[in-house]
Amino acid sequence: MKDLLIDIGSTNIKWAINDANDLKVSKTKFPSQKPLPPPYFEVELKKIIDIIINIIKSQKDIKNIFISTQMHGYVLADQDKNPVTDYISWQDERGSLINYPYEVPKEYGVDLKPNLPRVSVFALKNQKPDIYQKAHEFFTLGSYIAYYFTQNNATHITDGAPSGFFNIVTRQAHKTKLSLPKISYDVEIIGQYKGINVYSPVGDQQAAILGCLAPDDAYILNLGTAGQLCAINDVFIKGDFEPRPYFYNKILCTVTRLMGGKAIQNYQGDNLALQLTNNYLTAIKKLPPRSKIIATGGVINYQKDLITQVLDNIGLPYILNQNTDALNGLKILASGEH
């Protein structure tokens, strides 16, 4: 019996069987967005679920399913848990169209920003009150997938906290009319699908960081569709960064909204390497001091020379970790390794 590892990224959905030292990765494109004007960014939920169903059907002798997923997106459903929205992506910024009248304390692990689900739901309440009136249940993408296969709206804190609804210090949920996912702080079985154990989904950023085996004395430059720079810390601290939950009760101090694959692909100015260098150096100054950099993420596989030049410019010792992504982190979680 085997472990099926599934990573639901913003560009690709990847999967592998955890039965060998080297993961044999398969992938397919994440579904395209619906034809909506900016700042809206939605994806047909059924298309995402159909891909996951087909992945599971394609495998035999599966005992456990481990999932990592893109964060900051959500689905709303009625009291019978029937969706009243499609998947509203982290790339949706409808929150920029309203003035959010509340603060989000640092203890929630995220900053106030237009794509924060807590802000986005408030915007939807004002823009589409008919849909909001029907809404009773809030799902992250991870918890909706968990619900679809197990009938339990549950997820890990690394996927739940990016919604802006969970205080990671007190472990209390924000009061809202919506029913929120049940949060786990360990990666644990939340239900079964046709006799297969389904484990609590985790955030793809945290899974990728875990997979690159980053030590606590390193900055981790995670370059996917978007870019983040982070540092692992043993305890919760505040600063000019998001203190995101990590595994094993640690904190992932994270500077977000950096130039990643999408920004690099669309860049039209001069001296891209200098722009990236300045972008990442500014982020480094916001984080607790570390002695080296580990660069990971899919961008390195097709922009190795560019990222090498940028890291040379920064001047700290560095490692390019080309062959690591969230699936490697899921492999560690599935194996029970620390």
> Are 73 and 90 in the same domain?
yes
Select from 147, 166, 200 the last residue of a domain: 200
pLDDT given at position 46: 98
Three-state helix/strand/coil letters over 171-229:
CCECCCCCECCEEECCCCEEEEECCEEEECCEEHHHHHHHHCCCCCCEEEEEECCCEEE
Range of the domain at 325: 206-335
> Are 195 and 165 in the same domain?
yes
Q: 259: exposed, middle or buried (C-beta count within 10 Å: 0-12, 13-18, 19+)?
A: buried
Taking residues 104-123, what's their average pLDDT? 96
Taking residues 238-257, what's their average pLDDT? 96
> Are 94 and 231 in the same domain?
no
> Are 66 and 169 in the same domain?
yes
pLDDT 10s digits, 211-247: 989 899 999 999 988 899 999 999 999 999 999 999 9
pLDDT given at position 337: 54
Q: Can you give the CATH number for the domain in which 15 is found?
A: 3.30.420.40
Q: Give the chain's radius of gyration (CA, Å).
A: 19
Taking residues 269-279, what's their average pLDDT? 95
For residues 173 and 144, what is the distance between their CA atoms, to the nearest angstrom?
18
Select from 145, 165, 200 the last residue of a domain: 200
**Stated pTM of the model:** 0.93
> Are 176 and 82 in the same domain?
yes
Q: How far are the Cα atoms of 34, 139, 160, 226, 319 from residue 154, in angstroms, in the given order? A: 26, 8, 9, 26, 36
Select from 180, 200, 220 the last residue of a domain: 200
Taking residues 80-108, what's their average pLDDT? 96
Identify the H or E element spanning 137.
strand 137-140
Amino acid letter, residue 236:
F
Of 120-129, 177-186, 218-227, give the lowest mean pLDDT range: 218-227
> Are 264 and 182 in the same domain?
no
Of the chain, the percentage scoring pLDDT greater than 90 comes to: 90
pLDDT 10s digits, 15-47: 999 976 778 899 999 999 999 999 999 999 999
Q: How many domains does the chain have?
A: 2
- In this structure, the number of other CB atoms found within 10 A of the CB of residue 52 comes to 18
pLDDT surpassing 80 at residue 322: no
